[in-house]
Chains A and B, each alone.
Chain A
Amino acid sequence: MTSQPPTLSGKQAVVEGLPDHPAIKALDGWNSQAITDARFDFGELTLTVAPTAIRDACVAVQKAGYNFFEDMTAVDWFPASPRFQLSYHILSFSRKERIRLRAMLAQSDPAAEPTIDSIVPVWPGANYFEREVFDLFGIRFAGHPDLRRILMPDDWEGYPLRKDYPVEGYR
């Protein structure tokens, strides 16, 4: 942690600053509109893709050598819109490097749960992680083989990690 790497903000700056990055090349090669925003800070690369494109984006980076699904989770930016941010951390064993794929998911109808494509067909290891996000944030994953609550009891009401859910729970 001696010197912080420079921060690059915006797609243009990142593409110019990291011209040979395989993940950027793979996503741009698949669809030049795939990356909607990008950021490089704290030595970590964040690529934002449209929520409808997340599964294809995962396939594209997997082909580029990002072979290991490490983590995924959500962040609730309530009351901002789009409300949910989904962060996928993908590791490359050969390049010893990690990227973060990000999808901003809007909640168009407050009564319904927002939906995004599941990436379990790409990485089966995402199964429990998506169940956890479903359990705690109430985001549905289309194409998930077994979308049930995982940590909370099956009949629990509400999604505890949403920002409008009180810390002590509903009384």
Chain B
Amino acid sequence: MSKNPGAPVLELPATESAGERRMILNMGPQHPSTHGVLRLIVELDGEVIVSVKPEIGYLHTGIEKTCEAKFYQQVVPLTDRINYLDPLSNNLCYCLAVEKLLGLEIPERAQWIRVLLTELSRLNSHLIWLGTHAMDIGALTVFLYTFREREEILRLFEAVSGQRMMTSYFRIGGLAMEPPLDWLDRVQHFITTFPEKIDEYSNLLTGNPIFMNRLKGIGYLSPEDAVALGVTGPPLRASGVDIDLRRDMPYSSYEKFQFTVPTSTVGDTWARYEVRLVEMRESTKIVQEALDGMPGGPVKADAPKIVLPDREKMKTEMEALIHHFKIVTEGFNVPAGEVYQGIECGHGITGYYVVSDGTAKPYRVHMRYPSFATLQAIETMAKGRLIADLVAVIGSIDIVLGETDR
């Protein structure tokens, strides 16, 4: 264990003439507007921010190390816990990486349900962002509205996976099981009513003078800085860089869907708000397309040595029972090699780097998570602004501390 888990002593800046007025302020780790346990060491000159130094690691649980001691299929539940607001994207990214190593072909229906659920998961992530971001700014009502719709999405997750947040529904080789009978109708009901809910949020915020004043012109990030600092997702697109892996490097059948990628050239917190709001509408369209064109067929790949057999078969067929026993007790061997799979999750580019040495346990799993990289841009965005603007900036990059710390 650590000898001293407490905070390191802060060195005050060298006192220049202006330095004497400077003050070091600790924001967090327990602070409502840091969305978790982010600690920002802010250097202030009066109320103006001179520098921001993020301190992270409070949620570090060593997931990458844990992965090395688990079978490939046992890693899926670990991935849920990293970005807990967008769990299905994590599942998807990990499964795609391992499936690439295995050379598995995933049935079309499974791919489409994956797209559908990933988009619902993105909506879930954006709804939490919108609620908490508006709450930070002082618009408390929006939070109650967005959590009302989020509850609907969580019920849909619960119906397919039995869990509201830690879904683990995507498995290596497809899905855990076929969704329940009326589930697609429930999704249809939700997605029909959802666009007017977005209008509702927009009515509450878009014309609101307080909200506009707090967001417009704040936290500017130039496209050059955004690319150099590794920023991805809505903050990158709000700075005018048009890149979305769903469209540009499609995975899991995304190439079959029609959607537009919203961008803005303004690059401030307001632009990020607008981009995400349009993204929610686009996600709704993708879900609708997935529902309209949902193909039939199996939801698991035809690979009996990798995919667990159906419960029914396992109890009646000897061969299925043997496969079940082998997979559960010994796992399955994955050919040696290394792959990197990048996907576009709610916050930006999530990437899984999986190295296999040919055994049943991954030799190394590394996760690239967008919040980790985007956090580096916080100083660029907040420097020279007032401390109150820092709260708006943190909200606008939509940070999840579970994924920075892993």
Residues of chain B within 8 A of A136, CB atoms compared = 64
Residues from chain A with a CB closer than 8 A to the CB of B368 are 70-71, 73, 89
A96: chain B residues within 8 A (beta carbon): 248-249
B103 at the interface (CB under 8 A from A): yes
The answer to the question of B229 belonging to the interface, with a C-beta cut-off of 8 Å to chain A, is: yes
Q: Is the CB of B376 within 8 A of A87?
A: no
> Would you call A41 an interface residue if the criterion is a C-beta within 8 Å of the partner chain's C-beta atoms?
yes
Given known A125-B229, A156-B2, A167-B66, contact A89–B340 (CB-CB < 8 A): yes
Q: Check A42 against B241 for contact (C-beta < 8 Å).
A: no
Query: Is there a chain A Cβ closer than 8 Å to B23's Cβ?
Result: no
Contact between B230 and A125, CB atoms less than 8 A apart: yes
| Number of A residues with CB within 8 Å of any CB on chain B | 44
9 contacts between A and B (CB under 8 A): A42-B100, A42-B339, A71-B351, A87-B340, A91-B342, A125-B376, A128-B372, A165-B65, A167-B68
Min CB–CB distance B228 → chain A (angstroms): 5
CA of A136 to CA of B230, assembled, Å? 21
Instruction: Assess whether A98 is in contact with B342, with CB atoms less than 8 Å apart.
Output: yes
Residues of B within 8 A of A161 (CB): 64-65
Determine the residue in chain A with the shortest Cβ distance to B372: A128
| B353 x A71 contact (CB < 8 A) | yes
Check if A124 sits within 8 Å of B229, measured CB to CB: yes
Q: A24 CA to B338 CA in the complex, in Å?
A: 20
Of the candidates A2, A98, A124, the one whose C-beta lies within 8 Å of that of B376 is A124
Task: Write the A73-110 contact mask toward B (1 if CB under 8 angstroms, else 0).
Answer: 10110000000000101010100111010000000000
Q: Tell me whether B386 is interfacial, beta carbon within 8 Å.
A: no
Which of A10-18, A26-34, A145-153 forms contacts with chain B?
A145-153
- B349 part of interface (Cβ distance < 8 Å): yes
Whether A115 sits at the interface, judged by CB under 8 Å, is no
B374-397: CB near A (< 8 Å → 1, else 0) gives 011000000000000000000000
How far, in whole Å, are A30 and B397 apart by their CA atoms in the complex? Answer: 38
Contact B106 A1 (CB under 8 A): yes
* A127 with B376: CB separation less than 8 A: yes
Whether A75 lies near B364 (C-beta < 8 A) is yes
Provide the bound-state CA to CA distance between A41 and B130, in Å.
41
Asked if B147 is at the interface (CB within 8 A of a chain A CB), the reply is no
Docked Cα-Cα span, A97 to B245, in Å, equals 10
Question: Quick check: is A154 within 8 A (CB to CB) of the other chain?
Answer: yes
Can you add 20 more A-B contacts, CB < 8 Å, to A87-B338, A124-B228, A153-B4? A1-B103, A1-B105, A70-B368, A75-B363, A87-B340, A93-B227, A93-B243, A97-B249, A98-B342, A124-B376, A125-B228, A125-B230, A128-B372, A128-B373, A136-B64, A151-B60, A151-B405, A151-B406, A152-B2, A165-B65
A147 to chain B, nearest CB (A): 14
Q: For residue A46, which residues in chain B have a CB less than 8 angstroms away from its CB?
A: 338
Tell me how far the C-beta of B208 lies from the nearest C-beta in chain A, rounded to whole angstroms. Answer: 34
1/0 contact string of A106-129 vs chain B (CB within 8 Å): 000000000000000001111111
> B76-107, CB under 8 A of A: which get 1 and which 0?
00000000000000000000000111011110
Answer yes or no: B69 CB below 8 A from chain A CBs.
Answer: yes
Query: Quick check: is B56 within 8 A (CB to CB) of the other chain?
Result: yes
Interface string of B50-85 (1 = CB under 8 A from A): 000000110010101110110000000000000000
Chain A's nearest CB lies how many Å from the CB of B4?
6
A44 at the interface (CB under 8 A from B): yes
B366 within 8 A of A: yes
The contact size tier of chain B is 35 or more
A-side contacts of B342, CB under 8 Å: 70, 89, 91, 98
Give the number of A-B contacts (CB < 8 Å): 110
In contact, B105 and A150 (Cβ under 8 angstroms): no
* Known interface pairs A96-B248, A153-B4; A70-B64 also in contact (CB < 8 Å): no
Closest to A132 in B: B372
Assembled-state Cα–Cα distance A1/B108 (Å): 11
Task: Kindly state whether residue B3 has any CB partner on chain A within 8 Å.
Answer: yes
Given contacts A70-B368, A128-B372, A151-B405, whether A42 and B2 have CB atoms under 8 Å apart is no
B405 vs chain A, min Cβ distance (A): 6
Q: Which residues of B contact A160 (CB under 8 A)?
A: 62, 65
- Tell yes or no: A141 within 8 A of B by CB: no
Judge whether A152 and B60 touch: CB under 8 Å.
Answer: yes
Which residues of the other chain, B, contact A165 by a CB distance below 8 angstroms? 65
B99, B229, B366 interface centre (most CB from chain A within 10 Å): B366
State the CA gap A98–B405 with chains docked (Å).
25
Is B337 positioned at the interface, with any CB of A under 8 Å from its CB? yes
Asked whether A70 lies within 8 Å of B8 as measured between CB atoms, the reply is no
Contact B2–A44 (Cβ < 8 Å): no
B355 at the interface (CB under 8 A from A): yes
Task: Tell me whether B5 and A153 are in contact (CB under 8 A).
Answer: yes
Residues on the B chain within 8 Å of A67, using CB: 227
Q: Which residue of A lies closest to B55 (CB)?
A: A150
A126→B65 contact, CB < 8 A: no
A4 to B337, CA, bound (A): 14
CB-defined contacts of A150 to chain B, threshold 8 Å: 56-57
